[in-house]
Chain A
């Protein structure tokens, strides 16, 4: 029996509901992104459009700081790729669980895949075994994140135009707590912990490298440190 309209709607709404905490967490971050976009010299239209066509909070955040510093577009695009490279893992993790879906579904599900929806899906898929349930569940999570992010951006743009020096609000701390809340549960053993410590130390020491390239260096050294640490302390979970 094909799934009814009702089941689809139910899964879609369940995905959106399970994403709710992350919608809240994205708000201050969206506000400050919108405000910083204006402060960086981007037009309101470009600031809003970036949220719609890029839809990657941390990369957008870093991009507007690079725009403010007059960085060439090519360098910004490369940095975006590096910062978003973690999505390759998200996609690789979810792909086997979506085996059999058509490209018509996979392309939009991939486009909208963020840290937040990945975390929601990784958990939600455990109790959803059919493709039909999974695709509507993930889509619900992703569309909730997407709409929430657009609205938060618009409000941030309006605030950025109305209020001087939005950076002084300290709202970028919302990014820190959200990422900490996602990061800490990833530290399942010593290799992960060592990887994170090496990446963090490198990011601090390399902060003055041009075009924020310290971020790339930190990611690479963090990965290598984790792989090396695995030799001494094997991972608790299979890769």
Chain B
């Protein structure tokens, strides 16, 4: 693994998603169709990243009581839905996770 190329490749890939659009679109509008599609990118990608972490273990379904991420995720969803408070969601969710892990 060439670490320098890894860093250069990842840095360029990330900058490509952040900088050009900010500069171009501060001067003109994004086409309507692209805008509508992009609306779904953040929720879809966030869900696709976290769902396997919670529900799978080494690629296999992990639906058991000793999977503390299950109850803690449900609690976090509930807190976020009712309060929309990010810090509260993080603190309560993390606490639920650690407590469940400690006692089961």
Contact = CB atoms under 8 A, between A and B. Distances in A.
Interface of A: 20-22, 24-25, 28, 41-43, 45-46, 49-50, 53-56, 58-60, 62-63, 67, 70, 73-74, 76-78, 80-81, 83-92, 94-96, 98-101, 103, 106-107, 109-111, 113, 115, 119, 170, 172-187, 191-192, 195-200, 202-204, 207-208, 214-215, 218-219, 222-223, 225-227, 230, 235, 239
Contacts of B41: 85-86, 88-89, 219, 223
Nearest to B56: A207
Given A96-B26, A177-B94, A80 B13 contact: yes
A92 B90 contact: no
Interface string B36-50: 111111111111111
Nearest to A119: B86
Given A59-B10, A181-B76, A195-B40, A218 B48 contact: yes
A59 B1 contact: no
B5 interface: yes
A177 B76 contact: yes
A121 B43 CA distance: 18
A20 B34 CA distance: 32
B48 A219 contact: yes
A84 B41 CA distance: 10
Contacts of B42: 86, 89-90, 115, 182-183, 186
- Chain B interface residue number, banded: 35 or more
Interface string B62-104: 0000001100110011001100101101110110010001000
Contacts of B35: 92, 239
Given A88-B38, A94-B22, A227-B37, A222 B101 contact: no
B48 to A, nearest CB: 4
7 contacts: A24-B91, A88-B41, A91-B21, A96-B26, A191-B40, A195-B43, A215-B45
A46 B7 contact: yes
Contacts of A183: 42-43, 46-47, 50, 80
Contacts of A87: 14, 17-18
Given A84-B17, A89-B39, A67 B1 contact: yes
A178 B46 CA distance: 10
Contact of A95 (B21, B54, B89): B21
A198 B44 CA distance: 8
